[in-house]
Chain A
Amino acid sequence: KNQVEQSPQSLIILEGKNCTLQCNYTVSPFSNLRWYKQDTGRGPVSLTIMTFSENTKSNGRYTATLDADTKQSSLHITASQLSDSASYICVVSAGGNNRLAFGKGNQVVVIP
């Protein structure tokens, strides 16, 4: 079973609308959680990174939340743009471990 589960697997939204992506993880111990954006044919690019004590972090129109008690994170995209069409990957790092646990990604398609 994957240690990081993301939902929905894919979604289509209208330009200008908001959307929320979910990430549930079982990784333990927990060090930090990152959201990456991966455009087609490109490598992942970091959007946010949160440690245990952080609940919310924003990067422009992207806002990530973290509930370390329930082991859930969300990424909220506000006023979506066509350029937001990408795969959004949730990555969880275990303390003292050099491995990262990757979700399979949320595939977002923004249509005009």
Chain B
Amino acid sequence: GAGVSQSPSNKVTEKGKDVELRCDPISGHTALYWYRQSLGQGLEFLIYFQGNSAPDKSGLPSDRFSAERTGGSVSTLTIQRTQQEDSAVYLCASSLAEARGYTFGSGTRLTVV
């Protein structure tokens, strides 16, 4: 596609439920990043994919968070047993090469009630 597509755009879930967030990067972009943006805070790095492998997943805040990428394309971020502090906007970005810049999706706004 022309840009990075994320779905759903908004998600409201009950505390304790699992959620899946999807990112469809720009075709051909080998690098894919997940970030979290909480209200009034800067972007927080979660995980980085190069192809299907994740050389850096050190930003995942707990073992309730996991992500995978298949076919070098679509990525899914899964949050298990959601907590209220998980409420944030989850942004995905993709890149062809670091020097070429990053393109962000519009994000998924997650609200845990």
Q: Which residues of A contact B (CB under 8 A)?
A: 2, 4, 31-32, 34, 36, 41-46, 49, 89, 93, 98-100, 102-105
Contacts and interface: CB of A to CB of B under 8 A. Distances in A.
A104 B42 contact: yes
B89 to A, nearest CB: 9
Nearest to A9: B40
Interface string B17-40: 000000000000001010100001
Contacts of A99: 45, 48, 56, 59
Interface centre among A32, A41, A44, A103 (most CB of B within 10 A): A44
B43 A31 contact: no
Contacts, number: 52
B55 interface: yes
A-B pairs, 5 with minimum CB distance: A43-B104, A104-B42, A102-B43, A102-B42, A43-B106
A45 B45 CA distance: 17
A42 B93 CA distance: 12
A48 B106 CA distance: 19
Interface in B55-100: 55-56, 59, 91, 93, 98-99
Contacts of A44: 43, 91, 104
Contacts of A41: 106-107, 109
17 contacts: A2-B42, A34-B101, A41-B109, A43-B6, A43-B91, A43-B93, A43-B104, A43-B105, A43-B107, A44-B43, A44-B91, A46-B101, A98-B48, A98-B50, A98-B56, A99-B56, A102-B42
Interface residues of B, number: 27
B4 interface: yes
A104 B48 contact: no
B4 A43 contact: yes
Contacts of A34: 101
Nearest to B59: A99
Contacts of A49: 101
Contacts of A36: 104
B98 A104 contact: no
B99 A32 contact: yes
